[in-house]
Amino acid sequence: MRTSSLAILFGLIASLLIGGGTAHAAQETAAAYPIRNANALTRSPLYTTGRLPAASCPERPVTAGDVLSVRSYLLPLVKCLDTAWAAQFEKAHIPFAKPRVRFITKPQRICGDKWGKDVQAIYCNTDRVIVVMLDKDIVDQPDGLFLMDVIAHEYGHHVQNLAGMWRAYDHLPNRGKTEYYEQKRRHELQAECLAGVFIGSVWPSLDRPDQDFRDLLAADRRSGDEMTKVRDHGKGRNIANWLNRGYKAASSAACNTWAAPSAMVA
């Protein structure tokens, strides 16, 4: 399968990772703020459910420039995500529900807010809906792994929501912007790790060369907070690290960002 130009992919990855959430204007020096007394985050039952079973999720052909083709590529991936995570939630004895998925082609109000600049996709935790922007950039370069990473990352937020992690994160106290940002980075990096868990579980069925995943990691390393004025998603090397951890382990046990040292979520 032909891979996208890395230069374009780097820009797309940045648009995924800088979008969403509340942002403050100032930056502060990173500091260690360990998460304590939040078992839903640090001791989630999902961490004990083992590997996602190796599953077949062959990709559908996708045509550059065709919105309907890209949509038809993504929807089967959502079904694969539903099946994979439903099994893990059953093991963890946590009720599971599928998210809704919406596609838009131009910015509009989502979750009660304006669509942010350069945002590629967003998850609304109150409505349990994933919204994906099928704009020209992503539609014209659909054959790399970025599309899969987008949908699996936002589904990772759905996993956090159903497992009670999102609510626990939302209720964490903080002592200012620095601590707030570190908590947000833990939240976002966990979603990227969970994306890696899914990609790792279905990788043998994708009929892709390993270079495609290495290209995705390279794109992650060249994106992240280095591209923005707000340190809310993590440095590129840490984004790539958590994606790769999830991919190699294919288990949410690898994604406990809440117990990780501060340097791993900087």
212: containing domain: 6-265
Q: Is residue 108 part of a domain?
A: yes
Lookup: tokens for 176: 């200012």
User: Following CA atoms 25, 27, 30, 31 in sequence, which dihedral angle do they give, to the nearest 10 degrees?
Assistant: -70
Q: The tokens 């995924």 sit on which residue?
A: 16
- Domain annotation covers residue 1: no
Q: Is residue 217 part of a domain?
A: yes
Query: DSSP readout, 111-165?
Result: TTBPPPTT--EEEETTTTEEEEE--HHHHHS-SSSHHHHHHHHHHHHHHHHHTTH
* 257 in Cβ contact with 53 (< 8 Å): no
Answer whether residue 22 is part of any domain.
yes
Residues contacting residue 22 through CB under 8 Å, at least 6 positions apart: none
Residue ranges for the chain with pLDDT beneath 70: 1-31
Q: What's residue 191's pLDDT?
A: 98
Closest by alpha carbon to 93, among 46, 53, 126? 46
The domain tally of the chain equals 1
